[in-house]
Structure 1
Amino acid sequence: MSVDEHLSEFDGLPVVDFLSAEEAEEPLPPVASAAWRIAIDYDAGAFDRLFERFFEKVDTSQVTSLIIGFWGAAYDENDVKPVDLLVNAAGRLPRLRALFLGDIEPDEAEISWIEHSDITPLFTAFPGLRRLEVRGGTGLTMDPIKSEALTVLRFESGGLPASVVRAVAASDLPNLEHLDLWLGVENYGGDATVADLAPILSGERLPALRHLGLEDSEIQDEIAAAVAGAPVVARLESLSLAMGTLTDEGAEALLSGRPLTHLKRLDLHHHYLTDRMVERFSAALPGVTVDLSEQEKPDGDWRYVAVDE
């Protein structure tokens, strides 16, 4: 999945852009066979009107997967909050199980320019939601939630607020299998610390977790050191500490910590490991698929994450 292009597939379904499909003046595809994307053009349209038109043209009682794309810039006069629209329309989306909020390309808005709001009401409005993915962190808020349905929770951000990280850590998610947090950098609001991650790393509230991603962080070495001794690692099938500023220091902590040989996959792509450390990892985990691509070189003392602005 790339932040540089729109989704072509979501939750196992091909994506159909509602605006493009409507303008084609051809019969719409079977409703349940697609993940529907609602988005206005960058320089034209009103999202709330397009949103309502979607309900007029599509039998939304059959929609299971929904993608919210560009809904307008924060400075637009017609400022729209897609969470409010979704919550108010919950009764017309009884089968919604998967939601992607913010399928927006850099040409429309950089990831840290995407203006969000409180996403907590989504979990009450859609108690059957089993997959939620959010791109962007500016203005994003969330309270601790309880959901027995949720199995996938992902945040893509150049700066994920610590308050959101703490809310996830304090949530009751007994069936969550997949958790991704792009933590980002402090300059774009990514102010979470290792201490904020402690409840996640203990695994006590996440008994079903099988994939954990703590990625895109400027404190990736500190995170790696914390992960190295984390109880949750023993139950994981895959682990990602990719996209950040990981160096030999963090890699050494991983190799010296809890065993990682049970993992199916370890993703460390976009890293600052030396050639020698790359060789050590390959030798230490022969049965694990380890992604050590995108070996970066620091500019003096400066190291950058894969996604920030």
Structure 2
Amino acid sequence: MSHVEHLKELHGLPTFDFPGPGARHELPEAGTVAWRLAVDPYDDDSEEDFGALWDRFLDSVDPVGVRAVIVGQWGEPYDNDSSGIVQRLVDARDRLGALRAVFIGDLEMEEAEISWIEQSDVTPVLEAYPLLEEFGIRGGTGLRFPAVRHKHLRTLCFEAGGLPGEVVRGVAASELPALKYLEMWLGVEEYGGDATVADLAPVLSAGRFPALRHLGLRNSEIQDEIAAAVAGAPVVAQLRSLDLSLGVLTDEGATALLGGQPLTHLTWLDLRHNFVTDPVSQRVRAALEPSGVEVDLSEPGEAWEDDGVVHRFTAVAE
């Protein structure tokens, strides 16, 4: 199955695709939907670029009431990075006073492989919107996230086939006292995912994000190492849910989790897309499900061997 799909909602609001020029469509109230803005560079029937679309959006709705914005395709993804999108959001900060959620890069595989999405330094959005509560990014190529301070951000999500270690270190060094939900798709080194367990150390400590209740360290080729680090991580005691899915978790990582600190206080443990054998899967369930933990071990991966080398793949790479 594809794990890279268009968002169906953001900030608890259903997605609404802002219509193209000339389309007859009654627009909803500004604050009742998450506005998805995208242009198709291959549409011969429309010459509107993203800048024109953005201006038309701000002139067509009541921007004061807009609460959530989803940015989809803004042009040829491998020729145009997201810096122009970031700048437009920054420039509109006085008009979008109620904006609480932003997602940049809502492209599916049919539009662009996740590694083709060219990002940039996205932190000016956080600086421009001090009341922002949710921020999501898809695509790790060119992505930068130097350490920031933000009092109100509650949800931070990075979806990537390869998340740069520099980004992980920037997140780990940030001051986000309200952060409750953190999700990072770490990916593979071939596509820029060079983060290490050491880079995650501040996140796994107990003091960096005191409000954190959900931690997702997903889609990693070092999932076993991450599981071993999580098994003894002080932050786990404050979590309500833990997501180590989409990577190459094997019996080694699952056994490390079982041998570490208690996980019975969790409501949900997501280990989807794994390479854990049935006997170890049964041990995980037996250890946690009687305590009410919902354990997801679905979507088992298929490893293959070539010249004595076992190959396993993350769910999302290119």
1:112 aligns with 2:112: no
Alignment CA distance shift 1:282-1:80 (3 Å) = closer
| Residue among 290, 296, 302 paired with 2:301 | 296
One-letter code of the match for 1:224?
A
**How much does 1:3 deviate?**
4.6
1:39 aligns with 2:38: yes
| Residue among 54, 58, 72 paired with 2:57 | 54
Alignment CA distance shift 1:216-1:4 (3 Å) = closer
Given that 2:77 and 2:112 are in contact with CA atoms closer than 8 Å, whether structure 1 keeps it comes out as: no
Q: Which deviates more from structure 2 when the two are superposed, residues 84-93 or residues 42-51?
A: 42-51
- Structure 1 regions of 5+ residues with no counterpart? none
Alignment CA distance shift 1:23-1:261 (3 Å) = farther
Q: SS of 1:225's equivalent?
A: helix
| Residue among 69, 87, 92 paired with 1:89 | 92
**How much does 1:42 deviate?**
3.9
| Residue among 205, 217, 230 paired with 2:208 | 205
| C-alpha separation in 1, matches of 2:209 and 2:236 | 11
Match of 1:226 in 2: 229
Match of 2:13 in 1: 13
Match of 2:250 in 1: 247
One-letter code of the match for 2:244?
L
Given that 2:78 and 2:117 are in contact with CA atoms closer than 8 Å, whether structure 1 keeps it comes out as: no
Residues paired across the two proteins, number: 308
| C-alpha separation in 2, matches of 1:278 and 1:98 | 37
| C-alpha separation in 1, matches of 2:195 and 2:118 | 19
TM-score, length basis structure 1: 0.96
Q: Which deviates more from structure 2 when the two are superposed, residues 180-189 or residues 51-60?
A: 51-60
Given that 1:19 and 1:40 are in contact with CA atoms closer than 8 Å, whether structure 2 keeps it comes out as: no
Q: Alpha-carbon deviations, 1:153-202, whole Å to 9, x = none?
A: 00000000000000000000111000000000000000000000000000
| C-alpha separation in 2, matches of 1:49 and 1:254 | 51
| C-alpha separation in 1, matches of 2:281 and 2:80 | 51
Given that 2:19 and 2:25 are in contact with CA atoms closer than 8 Å, whether structure 1 keeps it comes out as: no
Question: Could you say what the CA RMSD is over the residues aligned between the two structures, in angstroms?
Answer: 1.7
Q: Alpha-carbon deviations, 1:257-276, whole Å to 9, x = none?
A: 01001100000000000110
| Residue among 163, 174, 177 paired with 2:177 | 174
Q: Which runs of structure 2 are paired with 1:105-184 in the superposition (5 Å)?
A: 105-184=108-187
Q: Alpha-carbon deviations, 1:86-135, whole Å to 9, x = none?
A: 11111111110000111111111111100011011111101111100111
Q: SS of 2:304's equivalent?
A: coil
